[in-house]
Structure 1
Amino acid sequence: MAPQRDRRPGFSRRAQYGVFLSYVAAATLALVAVALLLLSSFRPAAFPALRGVVREGTAPVSLGLRNVRDFIASGPAAVAEHFRVTHENRALRARIEHEAALVQRARLLVQENARLRRLLQVQELATKPVATARLVSSSASSTRRFAVLATGSSQGVRSGQPVRGPEGLLGRVVETGPNTARVVLLTDPDSVIPVRRTRDGLPAIASGRGDGLVDVRSANVANAPFMAGDIFVTSGIGGIYPPGIPVARVLQNARDTAAARVFAQPDRADFALVLETFLPPLPPPAAPGTAESTPAQADGAQ
């Protein structure tokens, strides 16, 4: 038979003090419980005041313990956030360095472009606005796309002048009255505009489809690839439209011909700007016999 375990503390001072303190704590808690019970039974009005005092005394301790608990609970999230911010900081620094190199290259290209222009003595032709007018109406359901401007020949508007809105090119004037002008829009089937792609300068032709879109096809490359989002602007070829006016953006990847949506929507534009043609029209040819003197007239003059 196994001997019974001796539960007495023996001669260990620490064990003896531990047992003594546990008895003291138990007796104290029992006395406090009895005192609270008697107080709540014989003095009910004083018990809430005592409870309030205890609550006020333990509130800072409870708040401190809660803060410690929240701090420990938020530790993993704070560590993860630190590593995430560090990674993003490194990525942003690398991006800044890369873009700084691009900016430096762009500045060098601008300086080189200015130097070459000075060597070639290239002069930019300034396009003067003729009139600013309100768009009175525009066709939306017909296959032919026209708009009417509240300005005409009395304000200097002439047939063939380009018209642009705040977002981009609208079309060109085809008929004028004293105070109105008819504009053929980009989306009209008879509209053909020389354009170029902004990212690489690819020359192309934008022709209207009659359904609110335009078809863009390459002017000199067969089966040229078009990417969704490619932006085309006027090239200045033909002498009517000034270069650099936004025209359309390609909707989806395609080859040879791509559908594009025009930037300027006449149904959303309130005003339009009529511009001078990019290149002035050539003077009419001189009548025979008036430009140069005949040999007989030259002999007579002598």
Structure 2
Amino acid sequence: MAPARDRRTGFSRRRQYGLFLGYVLTIAGAVVGAALLVLSAFDPPAFAALRMGAAGVTAPVSAAFASAGAAIASVPEGIGEHFRVKGENARLRADLKRWQALVLRARTIAYDNRRLRTLLSVRDRATGVVVTARLVSSTASSARRFALLNAGRWNGVRPGMPVIGPDGLIGRVVETGPNAARVLLLSDAESIVPVRRARDGLPAVATGRGDGNVEIRSVDTADVRFVVGDLFVTTGTGGLYAPGIPVAQVVSAGRDQVAARTFAHPDTLDFAIVTEPFVPMPMPVPVQGPGAPR
């Protein structure tokens, strides 16, 4: 059986001292309260000075507790703000990526529109246009330089037809299929184009180098000086290319033989016009047999 709990104070000296101290504090508080009450009733100025003195002592303590309370209360708000800002940053990054994709697409469309407008003006000037098509690939890093055109015999494309881009001459068709054609680029080693210098009509020949550029060589004239920036266009000689089509621009000065860069760069080939040869090829004459009527 558990012993009964004795609540009397005589069994513990600590409890006795605590009880006595409680009585003393209670009586002292009552006395101080009564004194303050009497002072406030009979001497209000003195009570006001005492009250302000007490307020001056307790004000820093109250301010410290208020600051601590505000800091503690702001912790949940700060945590919420952190996660809100983090989520907002993630949304902004996603929006930035989406807008970057849209800007890139808009720039691509603007570039295509600009080149199509240029090609349209070339088409208006060109004669004997067969078809306008897209160059879907090119061998820009191979020793042989070809491009693939997404138009062929079904579109009227035949071998030997010139191919012109928005910036200038691209090359000529060498092979055709039903809906595709192979184009020999100007930079191919087997490409030879008669050209003339735009500023004075100096005749020359543009020969492919196989490295993306062409070589300009003078003809019928010795000790010819070429300067950087000289422009060369087709002459119409040979009957394949119409005269006046931009071909290349000299990139290094020299005499008799210099390097030039084609206006139709292989890495930017996209749209092209296939035209009839400048001088139509004569129709083949059928061979008559021995018994054929004359």
- TM-score range with shorter-chain normalisation? 0.5 to 0.7
In structure 1, give the amino acid aligned to 2:129.
P
2-side partners of 1:267 and 1:177: how far apart? Answer: 24
Runs of 4+ in structure 1 displaced over 3 angstroms? 285-290
1:43-98 per-position Cα deviation (integer Å, ceiling 9, x unaligned): xxxxxxxxxxxxxxxxxxxxxxxxxxxxxxxxxxxxxxxxxxxxxxxxxxxxxxxx
Give the drift of 1:126: 6.6
2-side partners of 1:286 and 1:151: how far apart? Answer: 29
2-side partners of 1:284 and 1:138: how far apart? Answer: 33
2-side partners of 1:293 and 1:136: how far apart? Answer: 50
> In the alignment, what sits opposite 2:192?
192
CA contact (8 A) 2:140 2:266 kept: no
In structure 1, give the amino acid aligned to 2:268.
R
Q: Quick check: 216-225 or 272-281, which moved more?
A: 216-225
In structure 1, give the amino acid aligned to 2:185.
L
In structure 2, give the amino acid aligned to 1:146.
F
Larger radius of gyration: 2
Give the drift of 1:220: 1.3
Give the drift of 1:252: 1.8
> In the alignment, what sits opposite 2:156?
156
After TM superposition, list the pairs within 5 Å mapping 1:234-273 onto structure 2.
Answer: 234-273=234-273
- TM-score for both structures, normalised by structure 1: 0.53
2:227 paired with 1:227: yes
> In the alignment, what sits opposite 2:139?
139
Give the drift of 1:161: 0.2
> In the alignment, what sits opposite 1:82?
none
2-side partners of 1:216 and 1:126: how far apart? Answer: 25
Report the 3-state secondary structure (helix = DSSP H, G, I; strand = E; otherwise coil) of the residue aligned with 2:154.
helix
In structure 1, give the amino acid aligned to 2:138.
S
In structure 2, give the amino acid aligned to 1:221.
T
CA contact (8 A) 1:198 1:233 kept: yes
Show structure 2 runs of 5+ residues with no match: 1-124
Give the drift of 1:192: 0.2
Give the drift of 1:284: 2.2
In structure 1, give the amino acid aligned to 2:189.
P
Residues 152 and 286 (structure 1 numbering): CA distance in 2 closer, same or farther, change over 3 Å? closer
Q: Give the root-mean-square deviation of aligned CA atoms.
A: 2.0
Report the 3-state secondary structure (helix = DSSP H, G, I; strand = E; otherwise coil) of the residue aligned with 2:127.
coil
Give the drift of 1:127: 2.1
Give the drift of 1:269: 2.5
CA contact (8 A) 1:130 1:274 kept: yes
> In the alignment, what sits opposite 1:218?
218
Give the drift of 1:219: 1.7
2-side partners of 1:155 and 1:288: how far apart? Answer: 32
2-side partners of 1:163 and 1:209: how far apart? Answer: 19
CA contact (8 A) 1:166 1:269 kept: no
> In the alignment, what sits opposite 1:171?
171
1:201-259 per-position Cα deviation (integer Å, ceiling 9, x unaligned): 01110000000110000121122111111000010000001111100000121111010
In structure 1, give the amino acid aligned to 2:148.
V
1-side partners of 2:235 and 2:251: how far apart? Answer: 20
CA contact (8 A) 1:127 1:277 kept: no
Residues 201 and 134 (structure 1 numbering): CA distance in 2 closer, same or farther, change over 3 Å? same
Give the drift of 1:285: 4.0
In structure 1, give the amino acid aligned to 2:200.
D
Residues 140 and 287 (structure 1 numbering): CA distance in 2 closer, same or farther, change over 3 Å? same
In structure 1, give the amino acid aligned to 2:143.
T
2:280 paired with 1:280: yes
- Aligned sequence identity (%): 59
CA contact (8 A) 1:172 1:183 kept: yes
Report the 3-state secondary structure (helix = DSSP H, G, I; strand = E; otherwise coil) of the residue aligned with 1:140.
coil
